Amino acid sequence: MKVDSKSDLYRKLPSVDELIREAPLSQLIAREGPVVVTAAARTVLSRFRDSIAGGEFDEESIVHALSGLAANVVEEVRQASKYSLRLVINATGVILHTNLGRSPLTSGALEHIRNTAGGYSNLEFDIESGERGKRDVHVDRLFRKILNARVGTAAPGCPGEQSSPEVSTIVVNNNAAAVLLALNTFAEGAEVIVSRGELVEIGGSFRIPDVMAKSHAILREVGTTNRTALSDYESAINSNTKLLLRVHRSNFEITGFTQRPQLEELVNLARRRNIPLVEDLGSGSLFDLHSIGLRDEPGVLDSIHAGVDVVTYSGDKLLGGPQAGLLSGSRDLISKMRANSLFRALRVDKLTYAALEATLQAYVKQDYDSIPALRMMRLSKDEIRVRAEKIAGKVRSPQISVDLIDGDSVIGGGAAPSAVLPTCLLAVASSDFSADELAARLRKSDPPIISRVQEDRVVLDLRTVFHEQDDSIANAFMNL
């Protein structure tokens, strides 16, 4: 192509000002503002100049291309104003998937956020007295209903009945912050005894020894990786011991020649020596997991009933709420943590309180099916299979093979690491694409579908897919 004809082509391009005066764009400016539209127009024009420079146009084709210029700008604005944080469909079968935002919120939580966070609220205001209030009250009252429920079920005043101390709860940003706050409050500059078998690393660089160092507590390791006896704790106690810490192993198990004291034994030791016992439960369920066959995942109530002084757990793991760190325990100890200036730095905002209050309300009502993570855990393999068959029927074609195979969903989020929930998987292969290519195409659909690749097939687990998203999955395969 001749050089002078290229400069003729450049001359055909409108200026940015001319371009944004075209009809669809002047309307777009009214909606999106001039800054956004002008930037998009610049991007589109500079892309055109690159194409001319690359010799992609001649006198004829550029006329046709230029007629679509305004439409290109409209599309550019649409792309540029997309949120980065987006809804995705989780077909991985990992219920509490940290990379996918852990637990989805209940519809009650979303509604409560909408109703309170768009305006002013009584976050720290006592409506009755007209005076300053505390933000914790909104959830502490519900935690009390849930956690004090089964404590001391015998009638008050019964001979021999010990009144259990009232349990109160405070909220911080996440469970890592909860552990930090507990260690710093009770053991700054002093020793904390932890079993070597519990010096865990949870994903996202939460390591107990590192949190310990940041809290200015001194780690006193006892026992060995696989075996720690009560006597190991006992002989490590000295005048500078201010805390016993028990950590849930969350994402791994130690099997074989193992030993660790019963929780009750640790509680007794802590009482005898007058040292508080804090347990980092990690997931910390408020729901009786035994009822769905999960035996080994301790609940918050189990620990409180056993006599643990303070338990720490996440809001967005098995509890099924927003990201938060919960500290539940005896009133004195909780007050001490509330008085620590770190608590102010780690506090959470009204969105979290709103979401947490609504989620806890569901527990009080025992409306477990309204909590997505719990509902997903309770889905039977048969219910999942029926949905999988329906999708398979729509998707099967000469190019796409679909098998239903047995598999396991996992809870994730460091809960019950060895527990698996039997499920029915869709295993899909295409004659046109490799499994990796197929998975990549699913991620490009809207909303993106996140699947797994296993033995040259794309595998989808509907346990973590909301029922109303099943059609999106079928459509994504049909529009490959």
Ligand X SMILES: *Cc1c(COP(=O)(O)O)cnc(C)c1O
Interface map 116-155 toward ligand X (x if CB under 6 A): ----------------------------------------
Taking the complex as a whole, the smallest distance from the CB of residue 312 to ligand X amounts, in Å, to 7
Taking the complex as a whole, the smallest distance from the CB of residue 202 to ligand X amounts, in Å, to 4
Alpha-carbon gap, residue 326 to 276, rounded angstroms: 17
Structure token pair of residue 263: 């929780």
Query: Quick one: 95 or 202, whose CB is closer to ligand X?
Result: 202
Taking the complex as a whole, the smallest distance from the CB of residue 461 to ligand X amounts, in Å, to 22
Query: Quick one: 205 or 239, whose CB is closer to ligand X?
Result: 205
With contacts defined by CB under 6 A, name the span among 9-17, 107-115, 122-130, 171-179 that binds ligand X. Answer: 171-179
Taking the complex as a whole, the smallest distance from the CB of residue 203 to ligand X amounts, in Å, to 8
With contacts defined by CB under 6 A, name the span among 65-73, 143-151, 278-286, 346-354 that binds ligand X. Answer: 278-286
Amino acid at 250: S
Alpha-carbon gap, residue 428 to 406, rounded angstroms: 14
Residues 6+ apart with CB under 8 A from 218: 187, 189, 190, 191, 192, 212, 240
CA-atom Rg of the chain in angstroms: 29
Q: Which residue is nearest to ligand X (CB)?
A: 282
Taking the complex as a whole, the smallest distance from the CB of residue 457 to ligand X amounts, in Å, to 31
Q: How would you classify the pairing of strands 452-454 and 457-461?
A: antiparallel
Identified binder of ligand X from the candidate list 176, 358, 388, 435, rule CB under 6 A = 176
With contacts defined by CB under 6 A, name the span among 70-78, 154-162, 264-272, 279-287 that binds ligand X. Answer: 279-287
Taking the complex as a whole, the smallest distance from the CB of residue 316 to ligand X amounts, in Å, to 7
Helix (H) or strand (E) holding 247: strand 241-247
Query: Quick one: 9 or 192, whose CB is closer to ligand X?
Result: 192
Please answer whether residues 333 and 308 qualify as being in contact, where contact means their C-beta atoms are separated by less than 8 angstroms: no
With contacts defined by CB under 6 A, name the span among 58-66, 185-193, 243-251, 367-375 that binds ligand X. Answer: 243-251
Please answer whether residues 190 and 335 qualify as being in contact, where contact means their C-beta atoms are separated by less than 8 angstroms: no
Q: Does 175 bind ligand X (CB under 6 A)?
A: yes
Query: Quick one: 319 or 462, whose CB is closer to ligand X?
Result: 319
With contacts defined by CB under 6 A, name the span among 27-35, 77-85, 276-284, 340-348 that binds ligand X. Answer: 276-284
Q: Which residue has the tokens 């035996």?
A: 295
Residues 6+ apart with CB under 8 A from 29: 20, 37
HSE-up of residue 181 (Cα within 13 Å, Cβ side) = 32
Amino acid at 446: D
Q: Does 441 bind ligand X (CB under 6 A)?
A: no
Identified binder of ligand X from the candidate list 104, 325, 329, 412, rule CB under 6 A = 325
With contacts defined by CB under 6 A, name the span among 80-88, 105-113, 170-178, 391-399 that binds ligand X. Answer: 170-178
Taking the complex as a whole, the smallest distance from the CB of residue 324 to ligand X amounts, in Å, to 8
Identified binder of ligand X from the candidate list 138, 248, 260, 457, rule CB under 6 A = 248
Alpha-carbon gap, residue 409 to 424, rounded angstroms: 9
Beta bridge partners of 313: 282, 326
Taking the complex as a whole, the smallest distance from the CB of residue 217 to ligand X amounts, in Å, to 16
- What totals of helices (H) and strands (E) does the chain contain, helices first? 20, 18
Q: Does 414 bind ligand X (CB under 6 A)?
A: yes
Identified binder of ligand X from the candidate list 48, 206, 287, 353, rule CB under 6 A = 206
Alpha-carbon gap, residue 103 to 94, rounded angstroms: 10
Residues 378-397 that bind ligand X (CB under 6 A): none
Number of residues counted as binding ligand X (CB under 6 A)? 14
DSSP 115-159: HHHTS---TTEETTTTEE--TTHHHHHHHHHHHSTTTT-SPTT-T
Identified binder of ligand X from the candidate list 194, 247, 358, 410, rule CB under 6 A = 247
Alpha-carbon gap, residue 466 to 475, rounded angstroms: 15
Taking the complex as a whole, the smallest distance from the CB of residue 249 to ligand X amounts, in Å, to 7
Please answer whether residues 278 and 181 qualify as being in contact, where contact means their C-beta atoms are separated by less than 8 angstroms: no
Sheet harboring 325-330: ordered strands across? 167-172, 325-330, 310-314, 277-282, 241-247, 191-195, 218-222
With contacts defined by CB under 6 A, name the span among 213-221, 225-233, 280-288, 357-365 that binds ligand X. Answer: 280-288
Q: Does 270 bind ligand X (CB under 6 A)?
A: no
Residues 6+ apart with CB under 8 A from 283: 96, 248, 250, 297, 313, 314, 317, 318, 319, 411, 413, 414, 415, 416
Query: Quick one: 283 or 361, whose CB is closer to ligand X?
Result: 283
State the distance between the two ends of the chain, measured CA to CA, in whole angstroms.
38
Identified binder of ligand X from the candidate list 104, 197, 282, 320, rule CB under 6 A = 282
Identified binder of ligand X from the candidate list 280, 309, 357, 461, rule CB under 6 A = 280
Identified binder of ligand X from the candidate list 174, 195, 228, 451, rule CB under 6 A = 174
* C-alpha distances out from residue 3 to 9, 316, 360, 424, Å: 10, 62, 71, 63
With contacts defined by CB under 6 A, name the span among 183-191, 245-253, 300-308, 454-462 that binds ligand X. Answer: 245-253
Q: Which residues of the shown chain bind ligand X in the complex (CB under 6 A)?
A: 174-176, 202, 206, 247-248, 250, 280, 282-283, 314, 325, 414
